[in-house]
Chains A and B, each alone.
Chain A
Amino acid sequence: MRKILIADDEPAIRFLIRATLEDQGYLLLEAADGLEAYELARSERPDLIVLDVMMPQMSGYELCSRLKADPAYRAIIVLMLTAKAQEADRKQAARAGVDYYLPKPFSPLDLTKIIRFLLAGMD
């Protein structure tokens, strides 16, 4: 069973993502800030992280950079959700090694498809 970590400081967004993905056959984990998400990622080794950019303690970019810099966690797929959709943010995301970039607001169906696609690529 695929393991997915949901990292967002907004409870409403976490709830939405959980509601979207819960009957798709994934094991879902949640983190409310960057640091917690980073530690969970290291301890739980999820296959994919749905990552918010603006989080307390540690931003999504930093978390992603750290994971991608470490060979042991480089394989974790990072899907970044962001309210910011400017070109600069896109570039920053690319630099941090983000695998997929999805602006808010997003469609839950699209999210499901994208995650399925991303995880299928791993096999």
Chain B
Amino acid sequence: MRVGIQKKIAGGYVLIVFLIVVSTTVIYFKTNQKMLSYTMTAHQYHLAEMATLGLFLAIRNEETVVRRYFQNKDPQYVEAFRNAQQQIVQEKGILEELLVDDEEALRCLQERILPTADYLDALLEEALTENKTELAPYWLSFPGLTEDFIQAEVELSSILNQRHTEAMFAQREYLKQSYRLTMLILLILALLAIALGLLIARGITGPLKKLMQGIEGLKSGTYRQIEEVCSNDELRALIMAFNQMADTIELNRLELQKRNEELQAQGEELIAQNEEILAQQKGLEELVDKLMKQEDLLSRLFKFAQSLTRTIQVDQLAAIVLEGLMKESKAQVALFMLFDPKTEKMRLIKSAGRESALEQITNKLYLPLIYNREVRGQIVLGRLVEFSAEEQRLLRALSAQIVVALDNALSHQTVQQALEKMQEIDELKTELLNTVSHELRTPLTSILGFSELLLKNSVDEGKTPKYVQMINKESIRLSQLVNNFLDLQRIETGQLSLNRRLVNLYDVIADVVATFQGAGIQHTIEIRLAKDLPLVNTDPEQLARVLENLLSNALKYSPQAYKVEVEVEQISTDLIAIAVKDYGLGIPPSEQEAIFKPFYRVDHSEWREIGGTGLGLAIAYQTARSLGGELRVDSQYGKGSTFTFNLPIAVP
């Protein structure tokens, strides 16, 4: 049978109330009874006291009356005596009844008080019966109220008084005692109530605690039945229900576990597959990442390469490269250097950033620019922060782009230079052609013109020889011009074949001078040779050609002078200097270089008769060179010129 918690608590309270009621009732009755007995005793003694006083008074009255009777024989005293006697009997009866339990007081009363009354009675009765009127004898036999009587009187009073007081005290003591007892019992009851409360509470919280533990256990997953609790209330039902639930849960759990294990087995398989897929995916991601990085690098390279294609000029390329590299590397300073194959040194083309800071910067990255295993240059990057491997990779990749662009630019430069040279040559050729055509047209014009005039038949007889002479003269000039020009071309193109032999310079010079003098010139030609000149291994015809042209030039451009000098001396172990000196018009300094060019003629307009093809000095210059020598001019404008031909003695 189940007893509810409410009933339990109610039962507890009822029990406590019951105990309180019983105990207070018991105490109450007990105390009441005792108190009554004490009160009775006290009252008894009080009454006894009162009765004693009456007794004492009556006895004294008897004595007084007896005495008076004996004095005057008045019968009224007998009556008074009877009244007193009656009162004594009455009082005696009350006292003996009251003091029935008090031996001491009763003995005092009967042995010491009452004999006196009996004596008085007997005394009066004797007087009355014997009619003895004589007082004296009686009176004399009557000792009066004795010392003992008075003593007894006091003693009895004091005993009674004592007994009365004692009863009063005992009553008070008992009252105190019963009060304490009540307190004690209430205290005990209170303790009992607390104990009971605790007991009930424990009876409730114990199973609750177990239930909580069970729930906690369930929560944490450990299955445990809650052991039977020795309480027969809702908690037990709760615990039983809980146990049932736990059972169900455990069953479910077991089933679930089984399912779980199956699932886990499947899951593990899946996980294994998944991991494989993940691994593949990771590989793929890495690949994509790598590709993206590569792509990033490629796009940067592409952009960079694009920027590089903006120019094919080396200088501009260097500027673009440095700008790009400074941007990419965030360097503080960048130098662009080209390798100069002639000096075999790096030459700074352009710098960016603070070049002066390069010495202080410890982190330097050298990017060599190598194309086809040929060093083309290098780039130096200086930065305060160290270059990471990734950055170095990027910068090297960029430098690979730069090399291509640089090679392009250098090729372009080479082609450009070649083109410029070709253009220059072409221009020179055109100019030469124009000049040649102009030079040829002049004699041609004369020849054609005069011959046409002659053919018209309208020419005066006298003029005819002059025209023919002109035709002849211009024809010779034309032929000379053509020959000279062809010679010059041959010499310039290296087609001149030299016939070297040991030559005595004097012979050659003398021959040439003789030719001029034979042509009827106004000048004297002085020849001055140093002594002990060696024979020279050279082509005498070409040497003669140089001399002819130099002499022709000297004579032509010194119209106002009277002599031309030829001086020969050895200036070193292997060089002979042949100088042709005139005192003529001279060459302005600005034109001294140009005179060796074909068809160049210094403008001396005041000497309008100076003719010529304009090829003489050019031929002399080129011939001198083909002989391994050198021709130079030293001239003072208005005072004359000296052309010096340095000729090697042996074959160079």
A residues lining the B interface (CB < 8 Å): 9-13, 15-16, 19-20, 32-33, 35-36, 54, 56-57, 83-84, 86, 104-109
* Distance between Cα atoms of A107 and B605 in the complex (Å): 28
- Does the CB pair A10–B442 fall under 8 Å? yes
**Min CB gap A62→B, angstroms:** 14
B residues lining the A interface (CB < 8 Å): 434, 437-438, 441-446, 448-450, 452-453, 456, 463, 467, 470, 473-474, 603, 605, 608-609, 611
- Does the CB pair B434–A84 fall under 8 Å? yes
* Distance between Cα atoms of A19 and B463 in the complex (Å): 9
By beta carbon, the residue of chain A nearest B463 is: A19
Q: How many contacts A-B (CB < 8 Å)? A: 71
Closest 5 CB pairs between A and B?
A105-B445, A83-B441, A83-B438, A32-B608, A16-B449
* Distance between Cα atoms of A106 and B448 in the complex (Å): 8
* Cβ contact of B470, chosen from A12, A33, A84, A86, cutoff 8 A: A12
Which of B438, B442, B453 is packed against the most chain A CB atoms within 10 Å? Answer: B442
- Does the CB pair A104–B442 fall under 8 Å? yes
Residues on the A chain within 8 Å of B603, using CB: 56-57
By beta carbon, the residue of chain B nearest A16 is: B449
- Does the CB pair B445–A13 fall under 8 Å? yes
By beta carbon, the residue of chain A nearest B449 is: A16
- Does the CB pair B445–A106 fall under 8 Å? yes
- Does the CB pair B467–A19 fall under 8 Å? yes
Supplied contacts A16-B446, A83-B438, A83-B445, 19 more A-B pairs, CB within 8 Å: A9-B605, A11-B608, A12-B473, A12-B474, A13-B445, A13-B446, A19-B449, A19-B463, A19-B467, A33-B608, A54-B438, A83-B441, A104-B444, A104-B445, A105-B444, A106-B445, A106-B449, A107-B448, A108-B452
Known: A56-B603, A104-B442. A20 touches B608 (CB 8 A): no
By beta carbon, the residue of chain B nearest A35 is: B605
What are 22 A-B pairs with beta-carbon distances under 8 A? Answer: A9-B605, A12-B445, A12-B473, A13-B446, A15-B446, A16-B449, A19-B453, A20-B453, A32-B608, A33-B605, A33-B608, A36-B605, A54-B438, A56-B603, A83-B441, A86-B434, A104-B445, A105-B444, A105-B445, A105-B449, A108-B453, A109-B456
Residues on the A chain within 8 Å of B467, using CB: 19
By beta carbon, the residue of chain A nearest B445 is: A105
Residues on the A chain within 8 Å of B443, using CB: 12
**Min CB gap B585→A, angstroms:** 13
Residues on the A chain within 8 Å of B473, using CB: 12
Residues on the A chain within 8 Å of B446, using CB: 10, 12-13, 15-16
Which of B438, B445, B450 is packed against the most chain A CB atoms within 10 Å? Answer: B445
By beta carbon, the residue of chain A nearest B608 is: A32
The interface residues of chain B, by DSSP majority, are classed as: helix
* Distance between Cα atoms of A26 and B453 in the complex (Å): 18
- Does the CB pair A56–B605 fall under 8 Å? yes
Residues on the B chain within 8 Å of A36, using CB: 605
Residues on the B chain within 8 Å of A12, using CB: 442-443, 445-446, 470, 473-474
**Min CB gap A13→B, angstroms:** 6
* Cβ contact of B442, chosen from A13, A19, A56, A107, cutoff 8 A: A13
* Distance between Cα atoms of A84 and B470 in the complex (Å): 23
Residues on the A chain within 8 Å of B444, using CB: 104-105
**Min CB gap A21→B, angstroms:** 11
- Does the CB pair B434–A16 fall under 8 Å? no
By beta carbon, the residue of chain A nearest B459 is: A19
* Distance between Cα atoms of A70 and B320 in the complex (Å): 56
**Min CB gap A12→B, angstroms:** 4
- Does the CB pair B452–A104 fall under 8 Å? no
Residues on the B chain within 8 Å of A105, using CB: 441, 444-445, 448-449
**Min CB gap B238→A, angstroms:** 126
Residues on the A chain within 8 Å of B609, using CB: 11
By beta carbon, the residue of chain B nearest A58 is: B605
Residues on the A chain within 8 Å of B449, using CB: 16, 19-20, 105-108
Residues on the A chain within 8 Å of B453, using CB: 16, 19-20, 108
Which of B444, B449, B456 is packed against the most chain A CB atoms within 10 Å? Answer: B449
**Min CB gap A56→B, angstroms:** 4
**Min CB gap A19→B, angstroms:** 6
Residues on the B chain within 8 Å of A108, using CB: 449, 452-453
By beta carbon, the residue of chain B nearest A34 is: B605
By beta carbon, the residue of chain B nearest A12 is: B446
Residues on the B chain within 8 Å of A16, using CB: 445-446, 449-450, 453, 470
